[in-house]
Structure 1
Amino acid sequence: MMKRVVIVGAGHGGCSLASALRASGYDGEISLISDEADYPYHRPPLSKAFMSGDGSAQSEQKLLLEPESFYVEQRIDLRRNTRVRAINAPADSVILSSGDILQYDHLVLATGARARTLPIRGSELLGIEVLRSLKDARRIRRSLENSQSMVVVGGGFIGLELAATARQLGKQVTVLETAARIMERAVAPAVSEFVTRRHRDKGIAIELNACVTAFAGRDGHVTAVQGEAGEWAADLVIVGAGAIPNCELAEAAGIVCANGIVVDGQLRTSVANIFAIGDCAAYENAFAGNQRLRLESIQNANDQARVVAQVLTGNAEARFHAVPWFWSDQGEIKLQMVGLPFGSNACVVRGDPAQGRFSVFRYRDDTLVAVESINQPLEHILSRKLIASGLSPAKALLTDTMVDLKSLLN
């Protein structure tokens, strides 16, 4: 009997898995289930280049992860506009929204995460948006064309990327962050301070310790964001308050979940023949002291997809152990990060922030755990090699820019 892998979710992880299976020689059936109408697409441009693009069909074609012909040529049964209604684990099958039943030998959940919304007064008003999908991005781009004043609630990566893009388009932009600094949980104070200063220099208003309490509107459309410290006029509001993993399907099937779908080193869930990858998967991360966590990044989803492809094509030794790395392009700022700063208690700044190019090396005692680079792509690449190799250079060496980072890899 022909074998079948069913993949639920056609984002970066799901699409990468389908491709990796074929590249690894898997000859069975592959069903890739997507609840979106669009062909699988790149997500990073949605908060940046896509917003300032012309909106033509040609520009949207550039977003595609693979051309439409790829799915036919690779015998990947891509089912768009389709939801999985339930998993019947004892029967090794999924029930689709159409009522169809798909049998599987292996099921991979790549269900991703959804944007967190704010359950406060006025949240139902038009003009209040979140960005997770191409459909969201199209709607925001149309709104931006007629917008004069945009408020971003949340000083995280997506919010700041959108803020920088909107400012480049000539919009009045305000960022409201509840914490004492932007990107507080992700980057060192020196990086937060630099990015804040650069955005303010470009004309973006950044309000810290700003607690949003309500949205005000007129005729059903948002007109202002209200907070404990004041009110900010807005005809477009972007809520960037984090994401919630899509675990409901797994939970209903009896799969163990805890802030994500719990998986082991091979990305296997608690139920036989079912795996999970990407933003929805919670795993023990060696680079975070073996804490169980989720990582919302394309690199993480793609790396996990490759591991599952190896497992499903017979590599019993395959394990997920990839160095986490991330990036965020905010106007002229290219922020690249590697490692996880859990437990870090010391920072070493290499380079001069005043020159707009520097890196922050974060240590837990004498162990290098993470590096954040601003407009230093080569230092980022070398830092990835340092952390992957488990090397922790003496802090004094890093402050001396005459010391070549490459020499520290020996």
Structure 2
Amino acid sequence: MIKNIVIVGSGLAGVTAARKLRGRGYNGSIHLIGSEKELPYDRPTLSKDVLGRRIEVPPKLMDDAWYEKEKIDLHLGDKAVAIDARQRSVTLESGLTLDFDRLLFATGIQPRTLSVTGGGLDGVHRLRDLRDCKSLLSAFEAGRNLVIIGGGLIGCEVATVARKAGLEVTIVECADELLTRVLGRQVGAWCREQLQALGVRVELRAQVESIFGERCVRSVMLFDGRELVADTILASIGGIPDDNLLSAAGIYCETGVLVDACGKTSCDEIYAAGDVAAWPLKQGGRRSLETYINTQQQAETASLAMLGDFQPQLQIPTSWTEIAGQRIQIIGDMNGPGEYVWRGELTSGEPAFVVRLLYGKCLAAVAINASRDFSVLSRLVISEIKVSTVLLSDTNVSLRELLKPRH
């Protein structure tokens, strides 16, 4: 009989799991542990709506009354400091020890540290939580010089809102193009062009050697000798799964907590979900996915498994972003063998998408301002349906026609 479930991590995965457990009729205790004092909130809005001053605070994942109604024991601002897998217990920073029958580990990722001279100066920011966001927002003043180190999704999202706020923005990216890992080279190049059209300066194949300033940031020195004026710096250089506690408890970890397709770790009573979990992928391998949609899927799957309802779910990376005013949705891995088929043109301003095909099967897709098409593209990718490249690229053919079985 499962009477005590402890969830370490109060982000999206943790809250989704708690909600799923109650929805499936589990009436035992649920302890939700988080290092932040705030009620769990929607993190993706930090780099978009909060920094863009469209809203003052991020929306809560669930309102205050829900936790009381569903009898969720909150331990906020009291992070877990030790896990004993054999004794089935979690120790909190306050000294409180919680016993568990099942544990869900959902601590997410830790941002990588900017390990260069001057990286600790005032004015060097990261963007992981609400406190980071408020600190960065205080530097969002028109005319100031913002250097963003790292041209990934977060970096490009922040560049968009900063430029619209009137800041002078430079992205420093060590690769030869932006966003190729997520969007593929052609769409990544197009995103760079959109950012440049906003007035964002993009430095490719560039690396930071050091940061200058006495107490506050003054400039950034690149390895090629160029110096960039900077009042503010955002280090957006990715993160690593925050798996230290489970690793110390003897649970198998390798760039994330190794789990099966139900979220179970090397210990039968312990599960992991979200960014910290190295989850099996449908197209092979396993890794941390760091997406909102996958986090929800994993948390729900792991919650069911903790209750004995095993429904393995191999993951397909699925995410979305807004860059330079363009809504971009992604499913699958755009990097890999096969051919790329386009419908629509990026230069037209109309909805467009690109699909990666292998042996006629849809393995990945990126949709630009084409949300209606994306729902069908997702079904094509999830089902790995074989399609005709001619029909796929023909704007006169309804995408839904491609879902029909062909003989």
Q: TM-score normalized by structure 2?
A: 0.95
**Partner residue of 1:253?**
249
Q: Using the TM superposition, give the Cα deviation of residue 355 of structure 1 relative to its aligned residue in structure 2, in angstroms.
A: 1.4
Q: Please tell me the residue identity of whatever aligns with 2:312.
A: R
Pairing partner for 2:124 from 121, 128, 146? 128
Q: Using the TM superposition, give the Cα deviation of residue 394 of structure 1 relative to its aligned residue in structure 2, in angstroms.
A: 1.9
* CA deviation string 1:71-127 (max 9, x = no partner): 111100011101111111111111111111100000110010011122111111111
Q: Which has the higher mean CA deviation after the structures are superposed, 91-100 or 321-330?
A: 321-330
- Whether the 8 Å CA contact 1:188–1:360 is kept in 2: the answer is no
**Partner residue of 1:13?**
13
Pairing partner for 2:216 from 217, 221, 228? 221
* Aligned counterparts of 1:48 and 1:255: Cα–Cα separation in 2: 36
**Partner residue of 2:40?**
40
- Whether the 8 Å CA contact 2:362–2:381 is kept in 1: the answer is yes
* Aligned counterparts of 2:14 and 2:2: Cα–Cα separation in 1: 21
Q: Using the TM superposition, give the Cα deviation of residue 29 of structure 1 relative to its aligned residue in structure 2, in angstroms.
A: 0.2
Q: Aligned pair in 2 of structure 1 residues 306, 353: CA closer, same or farther (>3 Å)? A: same
Is 1:359 matched up with 2:353?
yes
Q: Which has the higher mean CA deviation after the structures are superposed, 28-37 or 357-366?
A: 357-366
Q: Which has the higher mean CA deviation after the structures are superposed, 161-170 or 398-407?
A: 398-407
CA-atom RMSD in angstroms: 1.6
- Whether the 8 Å CA contact 1:280–1:294 is kept in 2: the answer is yes
* Aligned counterparts of 2:61 and 2:8: Cα–Cα separation in 1: 17
Is 1:326 matched up with 2:319?
yes
- Whether the 8 Å CA contact 1:147–1:236 is kept in 2: the answer is no
Q: Aligned pair in 2 of structure 1 residues 166, 345: CA closer, same or farther (>3 Å)? A: same
Q: Aligned pair in 2 of structure 1 residues 11, 147: CA closer, same or farther (>3 Å)? A: farther
* Aligned counterparts of 1:88 and 1:299: Cα–Cα separation in 2: 30
Q: Please tell me the residue identity of whatever aligns with 1:142.
A: S
* Aligned counterparts of 1:6 and 1:313: Cα–Cα separation in 2: 13
Query: Any idea what SS the aligned residue of 1:221 has?
Result: coil
Runs of 4 or more above 6 Å deviation = none
* CA deviation string 1:376-399 (max 9, x = no partner): 111111110111122131222222
Query: Any idea what SS the aligned residue of 2:219 has?
Result: strand
**Would you say how many aligned residue pairs link Structure 1 and Structure 2?**
402
Pairing partner for 1:306 from 285, 292, 300? 300
Q: TM-score normalized by structure 1?
A: 0.95
Q: Using the TM superposition, give the Cα deviation of residue 367 of structure 1 relative to its aligned residue in structure 2, in angstroms.
A: 2.9
Q: Please tell me the residue identity of whatever aligns with 1:96.
A: L
* Aligned counterparts of 2:108 and 2:100: Cα–Cα separation in 1: 20
* Aligned counterparts of 1:112 and 1:2: Cα–Cα separation in 2: 25
* CA deviation string 1:222-254 (max 9, x = no partner): 111111231111111111111111010011000
* CA deviation string 1:178-223 (max 9, x = no partner): 11100121112220121111111111111111111111113x1111
Matched residues, percent identical?
33
Is 1:77 matched up with 2:70?
no
Q: Please tell me the residue identity of whatever aligns with 1:169.
A: A
Q: How does 1:239-278 map to 2 (within 5 A)?
A: 239-278=235-274
**Partner residue of 1:100?**
96
Q: Using the TM superposition, give the Cα deviation of residue 342 of structure 1 relative to its aligned residue in structure 2, in angstroms.
A: 4.8
* Aligned counterparts of 1:307 and 1:272: Cα–Cα separation in 2: 15
Q: Which has the higher mean CA deviation after the structures are superposed, 223-232 or 155-164?
A: 223-232
Q: Please tell me the residue identity of whatever aligns with 1:231.
A: E
Q: Aligned pair in 2 of structure 1 residues 194, 23: CA closer, same or farther (>3 Å)? A: same
* Aligned counterparts of 2:279 and 2:52: Cα–Cα separation in 1: 37
Q: Using the TM superposition, give the Cα deviation of residue 284 of structure 1 relative to its aligned residue in structure 2, in angstroms.
A: 1.9
**Partner residue of 2:329?**
336
* Aligned counterparts of 1:249 and 1:375: Cα–Cα separation in 2: 41
Query: Any idea what SS the aligned residue of 2:86 has?
Result: helix
- Structure 2, gaps ≥5 residues long: none
**Partner residue of 1:180?**
176
Q: How does 1:345-356 map to 2 (within 5 A)?
A: 345-356=338-349
Q: Please tell me the residue identity of whatever aligns with 2:338.
A: N
* Aligned counterparts of 1:11 and 1:149: Cα–Cα separation in 2: 32
* CA deviation string 1:118-168 (max 9, x = no partner): 211111111111111111111111121376110111110000000000001
- Whether the 8 Å CA contact 1:147–1:235 is kept in 2: the answer is no
* CA deviation string 1:267-286 (max 9, x = no partner): 11001200000000012211
Query: Any idea what SS the aligned residue of 1:368 has?
Result: strand
**Partner residue of 1:395?**
389
Query: Any idea what SS the aligned residue of 2:391 has?
Result: helix
**Partner residue of 2:399?**
405
Q: Please tell me the residue identity of whatever aligns with 2:348.
A: Q
- Structure 1, gaps ≥5 residues long: none
* Aligned counterparts of 1:344 and 1:372: Cα–Cα separation in 2: 16
- Whether the 8 Å CA contact 1:4–1:105 is kept in 2: the answer is yes
- Whether the 8 Å CA contact 1:2–1:29 is kept in 2: the answer is no
**Partner residue of 2:30?**
30
Is 1:66 matched up with 2:59?
no
* Aligned counterparts of 1:391 and 1:406: Cα–Cα separation in 2: 12
* Aligned counterparts of 2:204 and 2:98: Cα–Cα separation in 1: 50
* Aligned counterparts of 2:306 and 2:279: Cα–Cα separation in 1: 19
